Amino acid sequence: MGLLDARISNRNVLVTSVDNVMNWARLSSLWPMGFGLACCAIEMMATNASNYDLERFGIFPRSSPRQSDLMIVAGTVTMKMAERVVTLYEQMPEPRYVLSMGSCSNCGGPYWHHGYHVLKGVDRIIPVDVFVPGCPPRPEALIGGLMKIQELIRMEGLGISRQDALKKLAEKSVDPQQVIDQARRVVMA
């Protein structure tokens, strides 16, 4: 909304670049293939439902990988499931993004030590753009993760590779140590 209001001049003409318009269109209608595997899937469903409505961001879950541009890996990926995850990732058309939701798909989660059948992090098999920590992450955390993906899309241009865009995003983000120090100062004060 802000983008449109700021740009429309008296004669109702919008001047912008192709990059911006395309990125704005893509980030405002991110269609995830909600790959709900375990407990995080229920929090993802709760985020889609009316209390934390995801549809106001244009995010509407699609069941087929062919029609989606974001894969939210929500839940534990097991060895048996790993090949299917790669198949589904390869079936998604470019440009595609992956958001790893929850501890289990970030790094194996609570099953990292003795889980012989658990894949210790979905980034071992597919490239992940955003990791959302939590077990399970709150709906607000998932929305935060999705907004990070939107920022990533905003930075993409026709000439930048995904790796560079991710680096730029990381630089732009707040340094976690700063956040921790600030919180400590508040608590001590």
Partner 1 sequence: MEEAGNLVSPAVRESKAAWDIIRERFGDAVSEFDANPTMPFFEVLDVDKWIDIALFMRDNSRMKFNYMTCLSGVDYPDEGRLGIVCNLESIGHFTHRIAVKVKCQRDGGSIPSVSCVWHTANWHEREAYDMYGMVFEGHPDLRRILCPEDWTGFPLRKDYQVQETYHGIKVPY
Partner 2 sequence: MQELGKAETNSTRIIRQDDKRVIIEKDLDTEYMVLSMGPQHPSTHGVLRLECITDGEVVVEAEPYLGYLHRCFEKHCENVDYPGIVPYTDRMDYLAGINSELAFCITVEKLLDIEIPRRVEFIRVITAELNRIASHLVAIGTYAIDLGAFTPFLFCFRDREHILSLLEWISGARMLYNYIWIGGLAYDVPADFKKRVAEFVTYFRPKAVELFKLLTENEIFVKRTYDIGIMPADVAINYGWSGPMLRGSGVRWDLRRNDPYSIYPELDFNVPVPDGKFSVVGDCLSRHLVRALEMEESLRIIEQSLDKMPDVAGFDSRALIPKKIRPKAGEVYGRAENPRGELGYYIVSDGKSTKPLRCKARSSCFVNLSAMKDLSKGQLIPDLVAIIGSIDIVLGEVDR
By CB under 8 A, the residues from 121 to 140 that bind partner 2 are: 135-136, 138
Distance CA 30, CA 59 (A): 5
Nearer to partner 1, 85 or 130 (CB): 85
84 contributes a contact to partner 1 by CB under 8 A: no
Nearer to partner 1, 25 or 79 (CB): 79
Q: Is the peptide bond before 176 cis (omega within 30 degrees of 0)?
A: no
Give me 181's structure tokens. Answer: 């120090």
Q: Name the binder of 90 from partner 1, partner 2, none, CB < 5-8 A by kind.
A: none
Nearer to partner 2, 105 or 150 (CB): 105
DSSP secondary-structure letter at 159? T
Question: Contacting partner 2 (CB under 8 A), which of 7, 84, 172, 184?
Answer: 84
Cβ 120 to partner 2 shortest distance, Å: 12
Rg (CA), the chain: 18
Which residues, at least 6 apart from 181, have a Cβ–Cβ distance to it below 8 Å?
Answer: none
119 contributes a contact to partner 1 by CB under 8 A: yes
What is the per-residue DSSP string for 48-75? HSTTS-SGGGT---BS-GGG-SEEEEES
Cβ 87 to partner 1 shortest distance, Å: 13
Size, binding site for partner 2 by CB under 8 A = 32
Backbone φ and ψ for 57, nearest 5 degrees, come out as -90, 0
Give me 121's structure tokens. Answer: 């992090």
Q: Which of 147, 153, 170, 172 is nearest to 21 (CA)?
A: 153
The residues that touch partner 2, with contacts defined as CB under 8 A, are: 35-39, 41-43, 45-46, 49-51, 63, 75-76, 78, 80-81, 84, 88, 110-111, 113-118, 135-136, 138
The residues that touch partner 1, with contacts defined as CB under 8 A, are: 79-80, 82-83, 108, 112-113, 116-117, 119-120, 124-125
